[in-house]
Amino acid sequence: MMRISVLAAVAAAAALAPASEAAAGKRYQASITRTTFGIPHIEARTWQGVGYGVAYAYAQDNLCLLAEEFATVAGERSRHFGPEAKAVLGFQEVDNLASDTFFRAVIDLPALRDGVKGQAREAQLLAEGYVAGYNRFLKDAGAEGVPADCRGKPWVRPITMDDLLRLTEKQMLLASSLALAPGIAGAAPPGEAQAKVAMTLPRQDELGIGSNGWAFGGDATADGRGLVIGNPHFPWNGPSRFWQMHVSGPDGYDAMGVGIAGSPIPTLGFNRDVAWTHTVTAARHFTLYQLTLDPADPTRYLVDGQSVAMEPHSITVPMPEGTPDVTRTLYSTRFGPVVVIPQSGVTWSAANAFAMKDANRGNLRAIETWLRIGQAKNVGDIQSAVSETLGIPWVNTIAADRNGDALHADVTAVPNVSADKIKACSTPISGLFASLATLLDGARAECDWDAAAGTPEPGLMPASDQAATIRRDYLTNSNDSYWISNPRIPHPALSPILGKHAAELTLRTRSNFTETEALLASGKVDHASAKAMAFANKSLAADMAVDPLLALCARQNDAATDTARGCAALAGWDRRYEASSKGAALFRAFWAKAARVPGLWAVPFDPADPVNTPRDIAADTAGDKLLGALGEAVGELDAAGIALDAEWGSVQQWRVGDEGIPIHGGPGTAGVLNYQDARPAPGGGLVPVHGTSYIQIVGFDDAGPVADAVLSYSQSTDPASPHFADQTRAYAAKQWHRLPFDRRAIRAAAIGKTKRIAE
């Protein structure tokens, strides 16, 4: 593990810096060289300098986005934007009052400040530099240099370490507490005014997060070295957008890839010897506890027969000038905050309440984990990093190295609850929640998470009880559980908290295995074949359903019906989601209905053949409903003004002023690997909201990494930037970009002069 003292860092900086700078005693120094598409290559000789340069470059591209995010995590959105307007919390929209209440209640700044003391020293220095770099950009930009979208706004302000701590905590909670933010912000005991909570417990596929990732080992590749395909599915808007960077820092650190808002180093990418990607895991990173309340007081709960008082927290949210501030009292327990989700039956009555315990609260270990991954020499180093720190919050880690080894590690910060404990600590209603959350009995102290020796925090599941595999053929994940990352080696059953075992796979996962096996059957994997698979835009649902549907269509006599019109359109579809595909929009609308038809498949799911089951449309029993679904889909497109045979690229577009950029890729629920989730756009058609974002294909030669990549939504959120949509156009044209990594390649691809900053 990297451990350097402040004195050592300063000494190293002084020894390596130019004499004039060293003599000036500059604490923060970095250089930023931009190459094609505005990708910054940040060089620094200290960890403070790395954070300094990364924050400065990120603010150059996304100042308004990041400044608004700091207002969000500070609980100040209502004051600046009004309490009823919306905030994007991770992957959902929440009203500003609920957002502010959540952050002011859940983020424990004193605990985070104390937790920093246990961080790796490098992580502390990175954070210090990041704050300085962001503030330096604001100073350099001045009032007139701030982008038009946020110029003159009071929420564009210098930040402190507290702001970065809040943002870091928020990113750790993206797939857990943040998903339940309205239910935490709206919890109130019976008899008190209840805030409206319009949400249900989200399923994993409803969180708006996903991804595909492949690690091919030397036995499967043309050159005998490892190769990684990273295809994370992340939002096109908001602070969870990826941003590309290349960081060269002290201790030989040299890594390139992407991070989201506030990341001081790449959290997904590659170095000279390894490449890695992440996919959202099926593991659950929180548990719900059913509380048995004291009959005399609904703000007290019983544990082993003893009455325990909930801890009240008075939360005041500042409102716009002239409007009184809003104060609410929220309650927390030994298991975490009280939460209500009425639509899912999670309520606060005189008899029961529910609390949420989150394994990622206070997780400040993640940056140390990614630092170690960025310095890894092989996949064994990566496995050690994720296992020893348990700092990866909510994603699988998929990696390959130049030696030809491949890794899949579903090892994260997850509650240490075994299958036996889940069974022993169930309540009479636990089964009602089983598909959505793990519900335990809060009336018994023994139902708290188990402490295991050697974990960085008590109550976390040790890596030895989670799933990690190293092989030389391939390993892959498309957000299903650890159970199968290669059909040849199903994993033995682990705790249900880690995901379902021997359960039906999603169509996207099945498409992954089908296409991967077809790729390997055609020969060894190389960059060209990997690119072809990543952007093939095939739909497994179409391959399984269109021919049987057309056979049903042949029985129709009236060619003028909506169903018959739909049949004619699908007969001419190439069954892909290319920009040029005609009929893709119709199948998207049809499959959203058809997939829910009871008894759809004639051959049921078989855990002995999970890739190929369920299958075969049950035409005799489900045929009429399928034809009805097709007719409804036709009516839906007619109402939206979309022609049944419209080219997909004329329907799904990213708008840049008057320009509509056609976006290929389609719905993951239809078994499309190149996943784009689109929603109705103002003025008609569809606009992508999340899906394929940063796509990288990384292998190795004797000199270093060989990386092709594209960022679908481009680097900058500033419409005035030349890098607002340049990669979006490249993505639309399927134009990959060979990333420059060594100094010679960077010099050759440089655009403009290197910027050097110091203070």
Active site residues: 211
What count of other Cβ atoms lies within 10 Å of the Cβ of residue 324? 7
Look at residues 573, 737, 597, 604 and name the one whose alpha carbon lies nearest to residue 666.
573
Instruction: State the pairing for strand pair 467-471/406-410.
Output: antiparallel
Q: Which amino acid is at 103?
A: F
DSSP 3-68: ---HHHHHHHHHHHS-HHHHHHT-S-EEEEEEEGGGEEEEE-SSHHHHHHHHHHHHHHHHHHHHHH
Look at residues 503, 509, 517, 507 and name the one whose alpha carbon lies nearest to residue 606.
503
268, 281 in Cβ contact below 8 A?
no
**307 bridge partner residues:** 302
Alpha-carbon 564 to chain mean position: 41
DSSP 320-336: STTS--EEEEEEEETTE
116, 165 in Cβ contact below 8 A?
yes
Calculated CA dihedral for residues 334, 339, 345, 348, nearest 10 degrees: 80
Residues in Cβ contact with 206 at an 8 Å cutoff, skipping those fewer than 6 apart? none
| Phi (first) and psi of residue 355, to 5 degrees | -125, 160
Cα of first residue to Cα of last residue in the chain, in angstroms, is 29
SS3 687: strand
Instruction: State the pairing for strand pair 274-280/601-603.
Output: unpaired
- Categorise residue 385: left if φ over 0, alpha if ψ from -120 to 50, beta otherwise: alpha
What count of other Cβ atoms lies within 10 Å of the Cβ of residue 305? 8
Distance CA 725, CA 696 (A): 18
What count of other Cβ atoms lies within 10 Å of the Cβ of residue 109? 12
392, 413 in Cβ contact below 8 A?
yes
Q: Which two tokens stand for residue 661?
A: 């950029």
DSSP 259-281: E-TT-SS-SEEE-SSEEEEEEE-
Alpha-carbon 132 to chain mean position: 27
Sign of CA pseudo-dihedral 314, 317, 321, 323: negative
Q: Which two tokens stand for residue 718?
A: 């500033």
Sign of CA pseudo-dihedral 355, 356, 357, 361: negative
459, 363 in Cβ contact below 8 A?
no
Q: Which two tokens stand for residue 248?
A: 């060269």
Residue whose token pair is 């199948």: 587
Q: Which two tokens stand for residue 619?
A: 């035409």
Q: Which two tokens stand for residue 607?
A: 């855990």
- Report CA-CA distances (Å) from 466 to 358, 418, 447, 471, 491: 18, 11, 20, 17, 11
Distance CA 181, CA 192 (A): 19
Residues 484, 487, 492: CA angle, nearest 5 degrees:
45
DSSP-derived letter for residue 427 is -
Q: Which two tokens stand for residue 336?
A: 């975490």
Which ranges of 641-721 would DSSP assign to H, the alpha helix?
Answer: 648-651
Q: Which two tokens stand for residue 367?
A: 């940056």
Distance CA 317, CA 34 (A): 41
633, 595 in Cβ contact below 8 A?
no
Distance CA 659, CA 655 (A): 6
Residues 738, 723, 29: CA angle, nearest 5 degrees:
80
